[in-house]
């Protein structure tokens, strides 16, 4: 069987997908420039699965790096995860985001064309919807109201892939729009390792729980939600990984797009309470004004993926928090920096 190439496979989501693929007896090749990834994550994936993967320290903006991999390995499918993902950084350094997320994607597709590889899964984001007037959000909801360069680069990449698939009918491309991936593999050996001070809710709360940060700022306590705080659709990282395996199984010529979410929203206060209960630690928090660009609530209608991919998220919020806590409490400093 041909191998799967994961771009950005040393990162948070990519390492969990690599693990799920190896568990399924697929051969995995990873390319990553390690700006935000870790070789230790990949070593632990090999320990957990008892299987080896192929790693290349390379950049998706380099045709030579990618062509070299396609020459050396018989790749059947690509899962394209490599890219930059910080909303705040994208506002101060938009050029880096366009280069990595847009130009990098064009470059990858060029290399795939030369290697005659035609099957691709693309990591997109619910951010392409922008703040929506109503929930749940399904795939027919309008996109385009992105509020930052990160979101815009994801949307441009989606448009490019859609138009490319229309022009080249042998291409089979699926874009997966993730809602809020959290949690860790249940071994507690791999998980999310943000650099610097996190901007997303869960990594921030866990740093408060382990005592690295003093308190959480809750952005907005006056939203029109049951307790006034923002509501999001958090999904366990291993459910997200399972969604990629189903998307690979169901890849068909053309371009398709699916939400990967649970369909259920939790507020910031519900998350704080769940982390306190599971970790046994008190989470100090202070109210702050709403964060610019935030919606009151955002949760998925995941029924298209359920119907067409036979996939649905199975793990509950307690499991997401318990698995993440196992990782953060065992490795409060994250991976050893290489």
Please, how many CA atoms are within 13 Å of residue 228, restricted to the half-sphere of its CB? 9
Which residues are paired to 79 by β-bridges?
A: 6, 121
In this chain, which stretch among 67-75, 81-89, 139-147, 317-325 interacts with ligand NAD, using CB under 6 A?
Answer: 81-89
CA–CA distance, 19 with 47 (Å, rounded to integer): 10
Long-range contacts of 127-136 (CB under 8 A, 24+ apart): 127/87, 127/151, 127/154, 128/154, 128/155, 128/158, 128/177, 129/177, 129/298, 131/293, 131/294, 131/295, 131/298, 132/295, 132/298, 135/265, 135/297, 135/298, 135/299, 136/263, 136/299, 136/300, 136/301
83 binds, among ligand UD1, ligand NAD, none (CB under 5 to 8 A by kind): ligand NAD
Q: Does 61 bind ligand UD1 (CB under 6 A)?
A: no
* Rounded (5°) CA angle 231-234-238: 180
Helix (H) or strand (E) holding 119: strand 119-125
The residues that bridge with 177 in the sheet, in sequence order, are: 124, 259
Minimum CB distance to ligand NAD, residue 282 (Å): 26
Tell me which of 150, 258, 266, 331 is the catalytic residue: 150
Residue 10's binding partner out of ligand UD1, ligand NAD, none, with CB under 5 to 8 Å set by partner kind: ligand NAD
19 versus 221: smaller Cβ distance to ligand NAD: 19
Binds 268, which of ligand UD1, ligand NAD, none (CB < 5 to 8 A, cut-off by type)? ligand UD1
Stretch that binds ligand UD1, among 37-45, 69-77, 199-207, 323-331 (CB under 6 A): 199-207
CB closer to ligand NAD, 176 vs 221: 176
Cβ 30 to ligand NAD, closest distance in Å?
9
Is 150 tagged catalytic? yes
Which of 127, 152, 153, 259 forms a contact with ligand UD1 (CB under 6 A)?
127
Structural Rg of the chain based on CA atoms = 19
3-class DSSP assignment, residue 67? helix
- Residues marked active site are found at 150
Residues that bind ligand NAD (CB under 6 A): 7-8, 10-14, 31-37, 59-61, 81-85, 100, 104, 123, 125, 178, 181
Residues that bind ligand UD1 (CB under 6 A): 85, 87, 125, 127, 150-151, 180, 199-201, 204, 216-220, 230, 232, 268, 291, 293-294, 298
């Amino acid at each position: 069987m041909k191998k799967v190439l994961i771009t950005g496979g040393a990162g948070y989501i990519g390492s969990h997908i690599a693990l799920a693929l190896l568990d399924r007896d697929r051969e995995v090749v990873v390319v990553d420039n390690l700006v935000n990834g870790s070789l230790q994550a990949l070593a632990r994936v090999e320990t957990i699965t008892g299987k080896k993967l192929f790693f290349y320290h390379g950049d998706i903006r380099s045709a030579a790096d990618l062509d070299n991999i396609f020459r050396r390995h018989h790749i059947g499918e690509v899962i394209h995860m490599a890219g930059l993902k910080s909303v705040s950084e994208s506002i101060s350094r938009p050029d880096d985001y366009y280069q990595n997320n847009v130009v990098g994607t064009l470059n990858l597709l060029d290399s795939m064309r030369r290697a005659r590889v035609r099957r691709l899964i693309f990591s997109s984001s619910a951010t392409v919807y922008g703040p929506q007037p109503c929930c749940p959000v399904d795939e027919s909801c309008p996109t385009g109201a992105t509020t930052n360069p990160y979101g815009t680069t994801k949307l441009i990449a989606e448009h490019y892939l859609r138009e490319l698939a229309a022009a080249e009918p042998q291409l089979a491309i699926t874009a997966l729009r993730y809602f809020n991936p959290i949690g860790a593999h249940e071994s507690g050996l791999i998980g999310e390792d943000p650099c610097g001070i996190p901007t997303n809710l869960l990594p921030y709360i866990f740093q408060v729980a382990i005592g690295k940060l003093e308190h959480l700022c809750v952005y907005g306590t006056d939203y029109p939600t049951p307790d006034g705080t923002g509501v999001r659709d958090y999904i366990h990282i291993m459910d997200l990984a399972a969604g990629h395996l189903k998307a690979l199984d169901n890849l068909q010529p053309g371009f398709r797009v699916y939400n990967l979410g649970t369909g259920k929203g939790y507020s910031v206060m519900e998350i704080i309470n769940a982390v306190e209960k599971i970790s046994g630690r008190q989470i100090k928090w202070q109210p702050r004004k709403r964060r610019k660009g935030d919606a009151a609530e955002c949760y998925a209608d995941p029924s298209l993926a359920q119907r067409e991919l036979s996939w649905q998220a199975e793990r509950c919020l307690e499991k997401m928090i318990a698995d993440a806590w196992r990782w953060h409490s065992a490795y409060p400093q994250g991976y050893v920096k290489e």
